[in-house]
Amino acid sequence: MPENTAPRPSVLFVCVHNAGRSQMAAAFLSHLAADRVEVRSAGSAPADTVNPAVAEAMREVGIDISANAPELLTSEAVQASDVVITMGCGDTCPVFPGKRYLDWQLPDPAGRNVDAVRPIRDEIETRVHALIEEIAPAAQRSRRG
């Protein structure tokens, strides 16, 4: 019998525009946990494109999110996730029983240049490492790059 038969945990990152913080968090989790965690991101009022300064800051650490498209937050996305991490979306995120909710208080990178985005990016990476250790510890050891 396979050693790991547990279902993959699923995480949804939510911010208002899905153009900055949630995009960075989802990209880090996908990159660091590979296929061990199902990752989604969405926004309560999605922007048209990913914030260019955010895309540049992520490119600096070897992760290209420039082709990502912000997505609208849906109740279905929340229901399909084990952990929902909000980042400044206030009360717009639907709440369902049995889901774990975390609120990461992080500055909004909107309107900031890449120099101002880097510390936000680095804080998100730190939090994602801790999240992986908690929900999928073996994935932490498979880090690439």
Known catalytic residues are: 15, 89, 93
How would you label 12-25 residue by residue, b for 16+ Cβ within 10 Å and e otherwise? bbbbbbbbbbbbbb
Integer Cα distance of 73 and 49 in angstroms: 15
Q: How far is CA 65 from the centre of its chain?
A: 12
Number of neighbours of residue 118 by Cβ within 10 angstroms: 17
Residue 8 CA: distances (Å) to CA of 34, 76, 90, 102: 11, 18, 28, 19
Number of neighbours of residue 130 by Cβ within 10 angstroms: 10
> Residue 47: exposed, middle, or buried by beta-carbon count in 10 A (0-12, 13-18, 19+)?
middle
